[in-house]
């Protein structure tokens, strides 16, 4: 008899787990309350990157003089922008839906709650409910924006990231609270689209966890665009009066704007899931406690994606889903199986210039007293960067000085999020700088700077 697998939540973690388990022969049911593709497609990655792409088109239009063209001033059409984002999400959703249907996965449009270690109930959109039994359960319900008790979101002018694609009224001046990855992406997005922006930065540097050289390039770009930075400031209240919002900081500074947006992290969707009835334990932050195979405190219940409390990235959620399918189908015992190495996950910040990194960071190596070789090449001498009229940024490769094995890298510049894949492949496959040097890349491309940095 096939193994019965129940997946609650159909985001990247859930639909990958479902699809792979079905491919390996399981009988799979997915319960999803919104859309297949999850918040990643509906509310987070896809809409934010779609808005950033539109902002990119606007800033490019403003910069065409550098390409030998007359300047134009495009205008935002919020309705068209909303349609564009909805169309992208629908296309992605229907691709997942077709794939799961072709694999015989049963998809229930409803909310799933565990009723015991092997059972759950799905309350469907029409109010009816379905009792479900399973041999294995995958919890992949994701996370939602964190809202502190001092912030009263109104979905109109005091916004979470999920109210911003685009907001009901377009901000003339946006105050962004939070200068991590999400915060700086929203600064970039709205300033490219023409809004004035103030950023509340709790430390002395934006992106406090990233390479300071990369953060400095981004800060320089923000200054060039006229973004106001409130450094060392901690927001403690947001007030609205008519069409004006005021963000008040603990040191008395105030930032006024037409809108405020909070980007201060997320909390897991682990409440109201019936986890206690199944004996699933949470850690102190509310994430499901999992081991390296993503198994919870109950051996047949797994957690993947943001709810697992590991690296909150869509790419990580997907691979976790696949690894769970392999594990529950008993395929992990094979010699080719590898555990996920979160330290080798590539990540990117979709600002302008983009910032991407993978593996060991320079600061981390110095803090550990580890000997490394760092080579850095600016894009200013790269032919394609000059042809693109965008020579900002650099490629940095970190390698072992004795063996030449590539340990990490960071790239700042146009298409950095794509270019980092080469370094990620090197880091994950233990390639040496020599392997990159000996590659024959296309000329003229930005990738050539990788070869130069590997020399
Ligand atoms: C603004 C923003 C931008 C981001 N951009 C990127 C990016 O560019 N690249 C990247 O890699 N990551 C990005 N991320 C992170 C990424 O969105 C998450 O890591 C990813 O969505 C996690 O996938 P998941 O499957 O765990 O959860 P989700 O995508 O959140 O999916 C979970 C699903 O579970 C469903 N669900 C929840 N509870 C129930 C229930 N009880 N019953 C049924 N269904 C339920 C939800 O409706 C949802 O569809 C971004 C995050 C944010 C906030």
Residue 335 lies in a domain: no
Tens of pLDDT, residue by residue over 178-227, are 999 999 999 999 999 999 999 999 998 999 888 888 899 999 999 999 99
Please check whether residue 215 lies inside any domain of the structure.
yes
Those residues whose C-beta lies under 8 Å from the C-beta of residue 361, and which sit 6 or more positions away, are: 210, 211, 398, 408, 410
Domain that holds residue 63: 4-145+268-328
Q: Are residues 141 and 63 in the same domain?
A: yes
- pLDDT digit string, tens, across residues 71-130: 888 999 999 999 999 999 999 999 999 999 999 999 999 999 999 999 999 999 999 999
Q: How far apart are CA 389 and CA 379, in angstroms?
A: 11
Same domain (yes/no): 49, 133: yes
Q: How far apart are CA 409 and CA 426, in angstroms?
A: 10
What is the number of structural domains in the chain? 3
Is the C-beta atom of 16 inside 6 A of ligand 1?
A: no
Cα–Cα nearest to 309, from 266, 356, 343, 340: 266
Both 140 and 281 in one domain: the answer is yes
Indicate if ligand 1 lies below 6 Å from the C-beta of 312.
Answer: yes
Nearest CA to ligand 1 atom 8: 45
What tens digit of pLDDT does each residue of 309-357 get? 999 999 999 999 999 999 999 987 766 778 899 999 999 999 999 999 9
Nearest ligand 1 atom to alpha carbon 313: 19
CATH assignment of the domain containing 173:
3.50.50.60
- What mean pLDDT do residues 418-430 have? 98
Ligand 1 mean position, distance from CA 17 (Å): 14
* Ligand 1 probe mutation, 7, 12, 44, most atoms within 8 A of CB: 44
Average pLDDT over the chain reads: 95
Distance from residue 32's CA to the centre of ligand 1 (Å) = 12
Q: Is the CB of 269 under 6 A from ligand 1?
A: yes
- Report the percentage of the chain scoring pLDDT > 90: 91
Statement: residue 299 has pLDDT above 70: yes
Q: How far is it, in rounded angstroms, from Cα 306 to Cα 28?
A: 21
> Does the Cβ of 11 fall within 6 Å of ligand 1?
yes
Length of the chain: 455
Query: Which residue shows structure tokens 């403690």?
Result: 236
Count CB-CB contacts under 10 A for residue 429: 10
Task: Decide whether any atom of ligand 1 lies within 6 Å of the 432 Cβ.
Answer: no
Q: Is residue 151 part of a domain?
A: no
The answer to whether residues 140 and 162 belong to one domain is: no
Q: Is residue 340 part of a domain?
A: no
57 lies in a domain? Answer: yes
Strand 119-124 vs strand 106-116: parallel, antiparallel, or unpaired? antiparallel
Cβ-based burial of 335 (10 A; exposed 0-12, middle 13-18, buried ≥19): exposed
**Spacing, Cα 9 to ligand 1 middle (Å):** 9
Q: How far is the CA of 43 from the centre of ligand 1 (A)?
A: 8
- 194 with 315, same domain: the answer is no
Q: Are residues 254 and 276 both part of a single domain? A: no
How many whole angstroms from 244 Cα to the centroid of ligand 1?
31
């Amino acid at each position: 008899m096939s193994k019965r697998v129940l997946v609650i939540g159909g985001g990247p973690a859930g639909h990958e787990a479902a699809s792979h388990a079905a491919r390996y022969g399981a009988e799979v049911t997915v319960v999803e309350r919104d859309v297949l593709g999850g918040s990643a497609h509906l509310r987070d990655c896809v809409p934010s990157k779609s808005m950033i792409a539109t902002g990119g088109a606007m800033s490019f239009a403003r910069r065409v003089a550098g390409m030998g063209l007359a300047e134009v001033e495009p205008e935002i059409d919020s309705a068209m922008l909303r349609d564009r984002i909805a169309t992208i999400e629908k296309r992605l959703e229907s691709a997942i839906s077709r794939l799961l249907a072709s694999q015989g996965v049963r998809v229930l449009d409803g909310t799933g709650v565990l009723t015991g270690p092997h059972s759950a109930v799905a309350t469907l959109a029409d109010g009816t409910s379905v009792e479900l039994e399973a041999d294995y359960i995958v919890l992949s319900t994701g996370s939602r924006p964190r809202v502190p008790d001092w912030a009263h979101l109104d979905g109109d002018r005091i916004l979470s990231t999920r109210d911003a694609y685009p907001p009901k009224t377009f901000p003339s001046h946006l105050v962004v609270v939070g200068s991590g990855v999400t915060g700086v992406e929203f600064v970039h997005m709205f300033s490219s689209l023409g809004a004035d922006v103030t950023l509340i930065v709790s430390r002395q540097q934006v992106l406090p966890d990233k390479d300071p050289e990369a953060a400095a390039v981004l800060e320089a770009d923000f200054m060039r665009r006229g973004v106001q930075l409130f450094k060392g400031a901690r927001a403690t209240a947001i007030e609205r009066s008519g069409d004006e919002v005021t963000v008040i900081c603990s040191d008395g500074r105030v930032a006024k704007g037409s809108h405020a947006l909070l980007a201060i992290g997320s909390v897991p969707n682990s409440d109201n899931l019936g986890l206690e009835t199944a004996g699933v334990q949470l850690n102190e932050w509310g994430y499901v406690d999992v081991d390296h195979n993503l198994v919870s405190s109950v051996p047949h219940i797994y957690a993947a994606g943001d709810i697992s409390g590991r690296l909150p990235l869509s790419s990580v959620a997907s691979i976790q889903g696949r690894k769970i399918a392999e594990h529950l189908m008993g395929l992990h015992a094979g010699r080719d199986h590898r555990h996920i190495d979160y330290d080798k996950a590539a990540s990117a910040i979709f600002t302008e210039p983009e910032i991407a990194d993978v593996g060991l960071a320079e600061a981390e190596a110095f803090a550990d007293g580890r000997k490394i070789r760092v080579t850095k090449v600016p894009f200013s001498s790269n032919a394609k960067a000059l042809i693109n009229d965008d020579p900002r940024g650099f490629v940095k490769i970190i390698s072992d000085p004795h063996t030449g094995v590539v340990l990490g890298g960071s790239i700042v510049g146009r298409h950095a999020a794509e270019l980092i894949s080469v370094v990620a492949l090197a880091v994950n496959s233990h390639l040496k700088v020599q392997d990159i040097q000996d590659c024959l890349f296309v000329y003229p491309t930005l990738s050539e700077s990788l070869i130069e940095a590997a020399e």
